[in-house]
Structure 1
Amino acid sequence: CDIKISVLQSETELCFPQLLNMSCKKHTRPYTETMIIYIVFSSISLLTASLNLLVIISISHFRQLHTPTNLLLLSLAVADFLVGLFVMPFQILLTEPCWFLGDLVCVLFYFLPFITVYASVVNMVLISVDRYVAICDPLRYPTKITQKRVQVFILLCWIYAVFCNFMILYDNLKQLGRYNSCYGKCVITINGAVDMVLFFILPITAIIILYMRVFVVAVSQARAMRSHIAAVTLQCSVTVTAKKSEMKAARTLGVLVAVFLMCYCPSYCVSLSNYDIMIGSSSTVVVIFLTYLNSCLNPVIYAFFYPWFRKSVKLIVTLEILQPNSCEANVL
Structure 2
Amino acid sequence: MGDLCFPQLLNVSCRIRKISQSRTAQIYLFSLFSVLSVSLNLLVIISLHTPTNLLLLSLAVSDFLHGLVVLPLQTHDFGDCWLLGDLICSLYYIATSLFTNASIGDMILISVDRYMAICDPLYYRSRVTVTRVKMWICVCWCFCLLYSGVGYRDDLAQPGRFKSCEGQCYIYYGNTEMTVDIVLTFIAPITLIIILYMRVFVVAVSQARSMRSHVGAVTLQHSGTIRTKKSELKAARTLGVVVLVFLICFCSYYILLFIFLQNIPSYLIMLITSCLVYINPCLNPLIYALFYPWFRKSIRLILSLQILQPGSRETNML
TM-score (norm 2): 0.91
User: Residues 98 and 277 from structure 1, CA distance in 2 versus in 1: closer, same or farther, beyond 3 angstroms?
Assistant: farther
Match of 2:202 among 205, 209, 216: 216
Shift of residue 132 of structure 1? 0.3
Matched, 1:148 2:135: no
SS where residue 26 of structure 1 aligns?
Answer: coil
Matched, 1:226 2:206: no
**CA distance, structure 1, for counterparts of residue 264 and residue 129 of structure 2:** 42
**CA distance, structure 1, for counterparts of residue 292 and residue 186 of structure 2:** 28
Looking at secondary structure, tell me which structure has more strand per residue.
1
Which whole-Å deviations, capped at 9, do the CAs of 1:28-57 have from their partners, x for residues lacking one? 122x33442233222221121111111111
**CA distance, structure 2, for counterparts of residue 150 and residue 216 of structure 1:** 25
Q: What is the RMSD of the two structures over their aligned residues, measured on CA atoms?
A: 2.1
Structure 2 match to 1:299:
285
SS where residue 186 of structure 1 aligns?
Answer: coil
Matched, 1:24 2:24: no
Structure 1, unaligned runs of 5 or more: 1-11
Shift of residue 192 of structure 1? 1.0
Match of 1:309 among 295, 305, 314: 295
8 Å CA contact 1:277–1:284 kept in 2: the answer is no
8 Å CA contact 1:83–1:116 kept in 2: the answer is yes
**CA distance, structure 1, for counterparts of residue 302 and residue 26 of structure 2:** 32
Matched, 1:54 2:39: no
SS where residue 188 of structure 1 aligns?
Answer: coil
Which whole-Å deviations, capped at 9, do the CAs of 1:212-236 have from their partners, x for residues lacking one? 1101111111121122122111222
8 Å CA contact 2:119–2:200 kept in 1: the answer is yes
Which whole-Å deviations, capped at 9, do the CAs of 1:172-206 have from their partners, x for residues lacking one? 12333222223332111342122112211111111
* Residue identity in the other structure for 2:223: S
User: Residues 276 and 107 from structure 1, CA distance in 2 versus in 1: closer, same or farther, beyond 3 angstroms?
Assistant: farther
**Greater length-normalized contact order (CA 8 Å, ≥ 6 residues apart):** 1
Structure 1 match to 2:25:
36
8 Å CA contact 1:16–1:23 kept in 2: the answer is yes
Matched, 1:77 2:63: no
SS where residue 172 of structure 2 aligns?
Answer: strand
Structure 1 match to 2:249:
263
Matched, 1:126 2:115: no
8 Å CA contact 1:267–1:288 kept in 2: the answer is yes
Matched, 1:254 2:230: no
8 Å CA contact 1:99–1:185 kept in 2: the answer is yes
Match of 1:199 among 179, 185, 193: 185
Corresponding pairs, count: 312
8 Å CA contact 2:119–2:203 kept in 1: the answer is yes
Shift of residue 264 of structure 1? 1.3
Structure 1 match to 2:142:
159
Match of 1:274 among 261, 266, 269: 261
Moved over 6 A (4+): none
- Sequence identity of aligned pairs in percent? 54
Structure 1 match to 2:51:
66
Structure 1 match to 2:305:
319
SS where residue 189 of structure 1 aligns?
Answer: coil
Structure 2 match to 1:102:
85
Matched, 1:182 2:171: no
Shift of residue 269 of structure 1? 2.3
SS where residue 152 of structure 2 aligns?
Answer: helix
8 Å CA contact 2:27–2:78 kept in 1: the answer is no
User: Residues 132 and 238 from structure 1, CA distance in 2 versus in 1: closer, same or farther, beyond 3 angstroms?
Assistant: same
**CA distance, structure 1, for counterparts of residue 55 and residue 198 of structure 2:** 20
**CA distance, structure 1, for counterparts of residue 246 and residue 214 of structure 2:** 36
TM-score (norm 1): 0.87
Structure 2 match to 1:139:
122
**CA distance, structure 2, for counterparts of residue 15 and residue 318 of structure 1:** 46
Which whole-Å deviations, capped at 9, do the CAs of 1:276-324 have from their partners, x for residues lacking one? 779xx55544433221211111101100011111111111122222222
